[in-house]
A = this chain, B = another copy of it.
């Protein structure tokens, strides 16, 4: 199945971002991850740090705004989180329209659910593997990294459930889900590249 756009959802610390970067390099296409935040900051006027920390946190419990985002651009009367979500969806759809690419995070799988030429991947790993990574590679504090994992994953879960109306990390939402700790980062990249070609 030749896929133009690959979305990568990921548990915190699973290496999803690294896999996305390496996959994009292998395929010779751009990877959008932090670039999304920079562009959203430009468009919205919000601080990039605010977007990074709060952009994946939902305030309410319906999928109304996702449907709205299909038709409307941001409306000042909506809560900030919802405005941001609509802008994010629109940006992701623009990028996917422009050229083949890899998009990491931000419910991209849901934003692009109508497109048949996408492959949606979920990267996860055991807590020990992820705790080690976030301390060693992300520079998180050594005290209780498990708590930090839980905080970040819970935010992503709530955000996904809220806007996509589905369970984050349920295999059925993705074409492929991989345990990067067991399979290894390089082999994850290799499998995804093989599928994308």
A interface residue numbers (CB < 8 A to B): 1, 11, 119, 122, 124, 167, 169-172, 174-179, 182-184, 187, 191, 194-195
Residue in contact with A174 in the complex, picked from B167, B177, B194, CB distance below 8 Å: B177
Specify how many copies of this chain sit in the oligomer: 2
- Enumerate the 5 nearest inter-chain pairs by beta-carbon distance, A residue then B residue, closest first: A171-B177, A177-B177, A171-B171, A175-B179, A175-B182
Chain B CB count within 10 A is highest, among A174, A182, A183, A184, for A182
Q: Which residues of the other chain, B, contact A182 by a CB distance below 8 angstroms?
A: 1, 119, 175
Instruction: Quote the shortest CB–CB distance from A88 to chain B (angstroms).
Output: 23
Q: Which residue of B lies closest to A191 (CB)?
A: B191
Cα distance, A62 to B81, chains bound together (Å): 39
State in angstroms the CA–CA spacing of A62 and B179 once bound together: 27
Chain B residues contacting A124 (CB-CB under 8 Å) are 171-172
Q: Across the interface, which residues of B come within 8 angstroms of A171, CB to CB?
A: 122, 124, 169-171, 174, 177
- Give complex CA distance A172, B182 in Å: 11
In the complex, which residue of chain B has the Cβ closest to the Cβ of A195? B183
Chain B residue nearest in CB terms to A182: B175
Q: Say which residue of B11, B169, B176, B184 sits within 8 Å of A178 (CB atoms).
A: B176
Kindly report which residue of chain B lies nearest to residue A116, judged by CB atoms: B182
Q: Output the residue of A1, A176, A194 with the most chain B CB within 10 A.
A: A176
Q: Which of B167, B183, B195 contacts A1 (CB 8 A)?
A: B183
Q: For residue A19, give the distance in angstroms from its CB to the closest CB of chain B.
A: 14
B175–A172 touching, CB < 8 Å: no
Residue of B nearest to A173 (CB): B171
20 A-B pairs within 8 Å (CB atoms) are namely A1-B182, A1-B184, A119-B182, A122-B177, A124-B171, A124-B172, A170-B170, A170-B171, A171-B171, A171-B177, A174-B177, A175-B182, A175-B183, A176-B176, A176-B178, A176-B179, A176-B183, A177-B177, A183-B195, A191-B191
